[in-house]
Amino acid sequence: MYRTRTCGDLRLADEGLVVKLAGWVQKTRKMGGMTFVDLRDRYGITQLVFNQEVNSALCEQANKLGREYVIQVTGVVRERSSKNTHIPTGEIELVVSELNILNTAVTPP
């Protein structure tokens, strides 16, 4: 299955659900032992979380993601510690357990 939900429809009520998402990498941020990825599809944006202490190989793979890569992820929805009130999905994030790179992209200028 390509995806079970879209990036724009996850909310706090979905906390604890295991979901599969697919879309484009919009932005990545590395902070300490964690990598955050904003995943975008036509419906919205969801923040993905990769933790070095939980799965170093997966976090290493996430650190190599470029902008506009097309990826598919599976993970558990959890409440974000710092909310983003500017987007509808700003109360949640997806803790990723599986990452599949579907297509790479040349980084746009």
pLDDT band at residue 108 using 50, 70 and 90 as cut-offs: low
Its domain, for residue 54, covers: 12-103
Q: Has residue 109 got a pLDDT over 90?
A: no
C-alpha 37/C-alpha 30 separation (Å) is 9
User: Quick check: is 4 in a domain?
Assistant: no
CATH of the domain at 87: 2.40.50.140
Q: Please give the structure tokens belonging to residue 94.
A: 């997806």
Would the pTM of this model clear 0.85, i.e. be above it?
yes
C-alpha 58/C-alpha 21 separation (Å) is 16
Mean of per-residue pLDDT scores for the chain:
95
User: Quick check: is 96 in a domain?
Assistant: yes
User: Quick check: is 57 in a domain?
Assistant: yes
* Residue 18: CB atoms within 10 Å: 11
